[in-house]
A = this chain, B = another copy of it.
Amino acid sequence: MSLPHAILTALLEKPSSGLDLTRRFDKSIGYFWSATHQQIYRELGKLEAEGFIRALPTEQPARGQRKSYEVLPAGRAELQRWTAAAQDPKPHRDALLLRLRAAAVVGTAGLETDLRRHLDLHRRQLAEYEEIEKRDFPPGNDSAQARLQHLVLRAGIELETFWIQWLTEALEELPEPAEQAS
């Protein structure tokens, strides 16, 4: 149950419309909590109904009309509560590791191409993170807020670094063109 809180966080950082949020999810919060625009619109409706946010009273609220939201005090309180509450880590699900495990049984034929593709995707993601780091966290900025945000970004950087290294190892492990392990 984290999507509403992801949205509250984003809205506190900056009041936004549904589409703004969708865009920001694609390039920031979405790195560790992705959401589609439909999820976001639905959730905005719920959050408004619960009194956690409200639409900024601008013009006509017709279809195809931007509607911006801001967080109300109750919303901030809820986010604070959620942040401090104990939460069990969700069980992980990683299809790639599962595939390697399956490959140990049915053979690695055909795997290499996709592993290389994943390696490439992770390299791009890492580059993107490093770009953000250079841009948003130059040395010397040490407000509490910046330090926490930087910490989160570094988690992303280190995870990508891990995957790149692991995939490289995995590719070395793969046998020549064809082999069957069963």
Contacts and interface: CB of A to CB of B under 8 A. Distances in A.
Interface string A66-104: 000000000010011011111101111111111111111
A102 B79 contact: yes
Interface stretch (A43-51, A55-63, A111-119): A111-119
Given A33-B93, A105-B145, 19 more contacts: A2-B98, A5-B102, A9-B102, A9-B105, A32-B92, A32-B94, A33-B97, A33-B98, A76-B106, A80-B106, A83-B107, A89-B95, A90-B95, A100-B148, A101-B149, A143-B181, A144-B175, A154-B166, A158-B166
A8 B109 CA distance: 17
Contact of A29 (B9, B101, B118): B101
Interface string A104-146: 1111111101100110010000000000000000000001110
Q: How many subunits of this chain does the assembly comprise?
A: 2
Contact of A89 (B107, B109, B118, B179): B118
Contacts of A8: 102
